Amino acid sequence: MPTNPLQGAQFVLAAHRIQQLPADEGAEVAFAGRSNAGKSSALNALTGHKGLARTSKTPGRTQQMVAFSLPTVVRGETSQAMATRLIDLPGYGYAKVPEDLREHWRREIDNYLHVRRSLRGVVLIVDIRHPIKEFDRMMLDFCLATLLPCHVLLTKADKLSRNQASQALAALRKDIGENAPVTVQVFSAQAGTGVEEARAAVMRFLERDMRQVN
């Protein structure tokens, strides 16, 4: 089995506002998705750390931006070693979250995406069993408009047959378009489907040259 470059991820802090996040330097990849799409399970599977991100049968538990440091080191355009991070954005769309808090996170996520210079890409978590929702569409549209790379994990693929999963994958790829800076894959944290592919996508994002971003 190949070495996991995301192994050794560690919790750093949870932030209510982007100003509380670690210094905006190095390289980071953000994980976004609706609160019941399996984001925490995906993070745990990718890092090989079952307890890294909290999982719960109650959706909406991630109410802050959570930063995890990685042992992986990447080189910038100056060949200097740079710190790497994963950022778990708040789960979106859970009805029991108060409206003022939902509005706060809409603003904070939007602000984060626009101003965070160390952001190299977004991993968007989507439940394969359901059509993409408004938040998913907004995230995809933002990435398309800003040319920010996005990798979509169609999670919970173990709940469908292989043929059904392939059809869902093909449908979303057709919807997005071939020329978009968006890649899509089938994923299951439970069955381990697509884990290596997803890790490779995260590493591609982290290793992006900053000159492509600025």
CATH superfamily of 10-213: P-loop containing nucleotide triphosphate hydrolases (3.40.50.300)
Q: Is the pLDDT of residue 75 over 80?
A: no
Q: Cα–Cα distance between 190 and 151 in angstroms, integer?
A: 19
pLDDT in tens, 114-124: 999 999 999 99
CA 2 to each of CA 7, 20, 43, 170: distance values in angstroms, whole numbers, following the listed order:
11, 35, 18, 28
For residue 53, pLDDT over 90 is answered with no
The 10s digit of each residue's pLDDT in 159-206 is: 999 999 999 999 999 988 876 779 999 999 999 999 999 999 999 999
Of 30-44, 87-101, 123-137, the one with minimum mean pLDDT is: 87-101
Instruction: Give the rounded percent of residues in the chain with a pLDDT score beyond 70.
Output: 88
Which one, of 152, 160, 158, lies nearest residue 181 by Cα?
152
Residue 60, pLDDT > 80, answer: no
pLDDT for 2 equals 72
What amino acid occupies position 204? Answer: R
More confident residue, 35 or 88: 88
Domain limits, the chain: 10-213
Mean pLDDT of 41-58: 81
pLDDT of residue 213: 45
pLDDT above 80 (res 29): yes
For the CA atoms of 112, 147, 181, 47, the dihedral, rounded to the nearest 10 degrees, stands at -30
